[in-house]
Structure 1
Amino acid sequence: MHKYPGQTRLLVAVDCIIFGFDGDALKLLLIKRGFEPEKGKWSLMGGFLQPDESLDNAANRILKKLTGLEGVFLEQLKNASAPQRDPVERTVSVAYSALIDLNKYKEQISSEYHAEWFLLSKKPGLIFDHDKMVEDAIRKLRYNATMHPILFELLPDKFTLPKLQNLYEAIYDTQFDKRNFNRKILSTALLVKQKDKDKSSSKKGAYYYKLDKKKYAANFRSFLHFIPNPDHLLR
């Protein structure tokens, strides 16, 4: 087998960044690292690319092995290639991220590597450059949420405005005035009001709504006037 002369060994790793929404808050899935260096410290789900697999296959294999999660849509985010990012060997890491309905995958979570969900505001410090990876993933998530109806995929087919507000506040880490939020959301004309109500929180209840997906696909920018400028989110 021919090899390129004069080239040095380089490892390729994959790290998975999994965000979960539980109906009220946005959380991050972490594990305790199982080997040195930094054994026992909180980490993203990571491992090394094997000679016989693609990056996508490696990401799915690693995620399932370390957390039990499978069937999750993982999007390749970016790479981390600083020469000293791993103190053992020169390692380039390719980060993948996903946003899931936490409740749908709750039963899959494995305890072997102490996989645990953390509120973003209360997450522990992570090994190596994993904190920077999470920051980059959050920026990309917020950008994607302005351009595609991914947030609505975390909600049931019909939902209340308070639940929708909870989701937007969790993703963008901000507080919206209830009346202003409702007014602006409804002014988009992309939500279809239902006849029934959710009365689990109050006797008066809150009307259910559904997203008009055809209208959303044609006019998703109607949602952009009450969230941060998407062009600034990737900076």
Structure 2
Amino acid sequence: HDMPPDPTPDTLSFFAVYMSHFINPKSVQSYLSGICHSLEPLHPTVRAARNSDIVKRTLTGCIKLSTKQTTRKSPLSVADLSRMKSKYEPNGSFDDILWLAILFSGFNALHRLGELVWPDTVAEQDYRKVIPSSSLRWGNTPRRFYSYTLPGHKGNRFFEGNTVMITQRTDGANAVPIMENYTSLRTANPKTRFHPALFVRENGSIPTRAWFIRRLRTNFGADYAGHSVRSGGATDLALRGIPDSSIQK
């Protein structure tokens, strides 16, 4: 191509464009760093050429050209929850009602899925991060509600945790009767009656993320994931006129 052998800003810029046709442009930045490291003993100005405006702008342009549209999982809606309630209540199995209780609680309290179930990796499972069954409380001021304590995390210096309160609703996302049904089944089952975790399966094990996601996708398809519960609850609050500042808290 009649280009000079010296690594000038122009040659490095052409190299970036050429390589971006074959690999991810973000990786080209690493390639250029390696080239500078190898050629610096022979060409002391190679780093200055690499840091020139034309090379930086060329890389930026290549990255922009290769970007892909962001894909997000669909949020759940009140109608989705109402349909699940009709499907599994009142004759669902213990684990069916447990799944509903987690689903409805996560939707109403904007939980991250990791706050309600255990990780799939055994090494990451920690009882200190499990919602304790002893923290469950019921009340009627002014509407029927239930509350529990979300354990502290590393960002909470005193590990005091947070109290989550879920009140009764008049639409299909009302979690109170679901939770009442689940606690009745939990109390009647000797394997779960005295279990330290609030959400526990019929066999006495704590539900995992894979267990929850498998049931979620069986009912809603692959376009839904764990974050669909939290995003669905946030979308519902926005549709009901709750200010964004309050939702983000």
Please indicate the TM-score interval, normalised by the length of the shorter structure. Answer: under 0.3
Using the size of structure 2 for normalisation, the TM-score is: 0.19
The structure carrying a bigger helix percent of its residues is 2
Question: TM-score, normalised on structure 1?
Answer: 0.20
Q: Mark the structure with the bigger radius of gyration.
A: 2
